[in-house]
Amino acid sequence: LTKVTGRDEFNYEFYVVMDDQLNAFALPGGKIFINAGAILKTKSEAELAGLLAHELSHAVLSHGFQLVTQGNLTANITQFIPYGGTAANLIVLNYSRNMERQADDLGTKILAASGYAADGLRNLMITLHDQGGPKPLFPWLSTHPETKERINNLEAIIDRNGYNRYTYEGVENHLEIQKRVAQLLKEYEEKQKEEEEGKQEVKQEDEQQQTQDKEQDLKQQDDQEQQQEE
């Protein structure tokens, strides 16, 4: 995908965020973050590539940089650890409708030029629309324009440019990737659970110790009062 973006000066980096929600975002300069949930909820490699191509397009078109200069980028990345865990929505990019149309247009072009089925992004939008209903279920859709409108625009882009819908889908390969990611996410969640349980145990031990200390202090006070009375 990155070979056909036309922005060779970028140092592209891709990170998988261990979160089960379907979400992805791009930072200025070509850093792309994608949730494990996006890999698990897409139906093919072409759909996943469509999502990545869309986010790459935001970076290529400098949309994130424009939002930064306009003060419309809300971010909290102080806790982010590459290849590790983080909250589901570290960054909210309030792209305009025009920016979204541009990213859909260029993203589909990148997808087709990379040899993927050109309707990967369009199919992803249909999948999310069907699963999410009238109100967006996934964070990736929550700040974006109306889904049906975008599906129609994507279909028009494909037809107008004569992009090939019937090339590489990558369903079988995607299933293998999903198995690996599902295992990694499971291990991460188990580790997080163990750490949380460990914190709770330490907290309980601290509370018990504090209670014992208070009881000991009260006992010492009682003993001192009795000695004074005697």
Catalytic residue among 45, 55, 100, 169: 55
β-pairing, 13-17 with 31-35?
parallel
Q: Do residues 185 and 40 touch, judged by C-beta distance below 8 A? A: yes
β-pairing, 91-93 with 73-75?
antiparallel
Tokens encoding 4: 């056909």
Nearest residue to 60 (alpha-carbon basis) of 131, 16, 113: 113
Nearest residue to 38 (alpha-carbon basis) of 59, 57, 53, 58: 53
Active site residue 195: no
Phi, psi (rounded to 5 degrees) for 116: -85, 160
Side chain identity at residue 42, one-letter code:
T
Name the residues annotated as catalytic: 55
